[in-house]
Structure 1
């Protein structure tokens, strides 16, 4: 899978993705106007604009790419704040080389007066500002305005079993799926080899697995037929017990679906 595909899969709603790219542009323009890091001495305003905006966009793109890999292979979903700080630190050395290259192209006369160490520290300073800011923007849930302008019909094809499994980390991609649970914009996928948190709608994930594999027992939960080990009641509420002794709640509608599924299985037998 390419970096481009990871970015596309990992990205949030379109307006927020645009915001994540607008932030470095605004920051670059601001740094250019004030002549940050002494650039007002050896570089004109136009050169500073190109230098800072191009550098901010390139480094932010690198941060988003590394973050996409971190989200997919380390956290199987949204990364915590400390991971965003870690990415900002890790990308700084590469960012220093990007800035050095831009200076070599745009203003080679200033290179004798600045070291790679200085450039890396400058990038690190900006990263520690932009990284958490981009993290915060990407974590903001879609608001009412997003819902209001949503099209009445889906604009993307429904998920298939292959496309659903492609979102899973490699370690559990071919594992037996035991249950699904909605968590905000994500779905927690429990398998016989571990868990993963992926960005997908619960309804799309259920549709991808097919109606014959399991049943939706609650608006936030789905269980595979093979994973059910019995029913239990806790504080008067019905629940489904799974292989790992996890109990998921069953709604009234879920009870009806469970009975219908049991009837069909008995008739089939």
Structure 2
């Protein structure tokens, strides 16, 4: 398996294909279907349902494609300036709205004989297109910003001051800040998966774009160990040890997940098992 470098700030945690097929396309298709059924801007009266479906799916699809391509180009240019995402979104939205205004004007003239190819007509149409663009892109953009960690969470209440002689509380491992909020902080294991690290917690799993060894380095201070070139486990997550007939060890986590132990880590794992008192049994 190959490993990649750590993602820069503002880079997505979820693979592009999953974001595109699982979030963006369903949102755009849903918006097109709703607009086809409602038939705004006179399309309900002038067009049949089949025509409205073709009309809105084509426009939303073209607008979505333009938005995606311009966003990809802009994020490449602003790779080192993730804080500029607001200006980037405004610029992309206005660019897409301008392109789609001209497209809709030509389509309306051809399809329904409506002439918007005048300054006032284009200005009026531009307002409508901007509104539709904002409504259609709201959910996909929000999901994308959340995936990139660009949406600030609620402000935490200030902690009470510590006495002067009190020891400072231990710092949370830096890696935990990368976890999506829905996964919580009860880390069970890490698993290298192609270009990503799959994170397992009590609440589920997700992919993070980084190398396993970098993730382990960011977990300094958390009790755990690497047990395989592709696996790391938290000590508190291990419920027992299972020995296979061929002598290989498998760690059984408290959520039932089984993690293989490679030969190169066998001595360290056995020592940790004795120290922690992990129950050992023979597996099939």
TM-score w.r.t. length of structure 1: 0.47
Larger RCO: Structure 1 or Structure 2 (Cα < 8 Å, ≥ 6 residues apart)? 2
**Higher-Rg member (1/2):** 2
Higher helix share: 1
TM-score w.r.t. length of structure 2: 0.45
